[in-house]
Structure 1
Amino acid sequence: MTEVLYWISTFVLILTLLCILGYQLILLVDLEFDYINPYDSTSRINQVVVPEFIIQGSFCFINLIAGHWFIFLLSLPFLYYNVRTYIRREHLADVTEIYNKLNWEKKKRLFKVAYLVAVFVMSVVSLVWTLTEDVH
């Protein structure tokens, strides 16, 4: 039963992170096409950055506690990057520099999305592998 709760929580956390990053990407694209002003865009992005970091930290902690070392080690660089940017105070989007850094911010979030999709695929593979081991 605990294994089922682990997999449900893992999938929920990964999908939540993907939704948050998708929301940030939509805001950046809206800003690029001038559908939203820079102040609104950066304030909305900055509202979800810290929850994104907290969810990523929870995801790593759950994998550590559950003993799923491969998924934990796979998600550790993402956590390190988030902690490093938070400590350096580079995690918030600046309203005065958003147009200069627009392409970089979009690429950064697209890389995070690709990374999370890879972690999600590895989680599904790990789930299938553990389910087939339990059958034998």
Structure 2
Amino acid sequence: MYELSTTGFDYTMLLALLSSGVLLAIVVYELLLLTDLEGNDINSIEFCKKYNKFIMPEYIVQAVFTVWFLVTFRFVLFLLNAPVLYYHFQRYQTRTHKNDPTKVYSHTSKMGNHLMLKLVFYMVMFFIYLFVLLFNFFSD
């Protein structure tokens, strides 16, 4: 319980809570774009242009606050976020993080599954950060 008991207002948890909210918004927007693509409301070129614009900011935000957990000695939260950081790093290293308009229709179901898993993960982490923040706030 040492990790949860810090003195005063915890800026690390507030930053993580806000970052998690931003990541949730990005993933919801990406899911809406994917739904529009599957419903033929936008074409594959527009989809890839809009979708690819949000990939690197998502990866950067996730990486920054995962490394921040390591720097601030919140090892449990770091270990919870490390698999997603590794997944993003692997996709970036293999150059599969960007979508190609010519191949996007064959990957829609796989992208939908990945986005739903990310949405669930970010929602769970949002509530964990909220719990830790409130625990720190009311434990004084």
Structure 1 and Structure 2 fold alike (TM over 0.5): yes
Question: Unmatched 5+ residue regions in structure 2?
Answer: 1-6
Q: Decide whether the 8 Å contact of 2:9 with 2:137 is kept in 1.
A: no
Rounded to whole Å, the distance in 1 between the matches of 2:21 and 2:8 is 20
Amino acid at match of 1:81: Y
Aligned to 2:19: 13
Query: More helix per residue: 1 or 2?
Result: 1
Match of 2:54, SS state, is helix
Residues 38-86 of structure 1 deviation map (CA, whole Å, 9 limit, x = unaligned)? 1000111111101110000011022112222111110110000000000
Aligned to 1:35: 41
User: Normalized against structure 1, the TM-score is what?
Assistant: 0.91
Larger relative contact order (Cα-Cα within 8 Å, sequence gap ≥ 6): 2
For residues 70 and 93 of structure 2, the distance between their equivalents in structure 1, rounded to whole angstroms, comes to 22
Question: 1:131 deviation in Å?
Answer: 3.6
Q: Deviations over 1:90-113 (max 9, x none)?
A: 101111111111111011011001
User: Contact 1:71–1:122 at 8 Å: present in 2 too?
Assistant: no
Match of 1:23 in 2: 29
Residue matched to 1:96: 102
CA RMSD of aligned residues (A): 1.6
TM-score (norm 2): 0.88
How far apart, in 2, do the equivalents of 1:73 and 1:2 lie? 24
Q: Which runs of 4+ in 1 moved over 4 A?
A: none
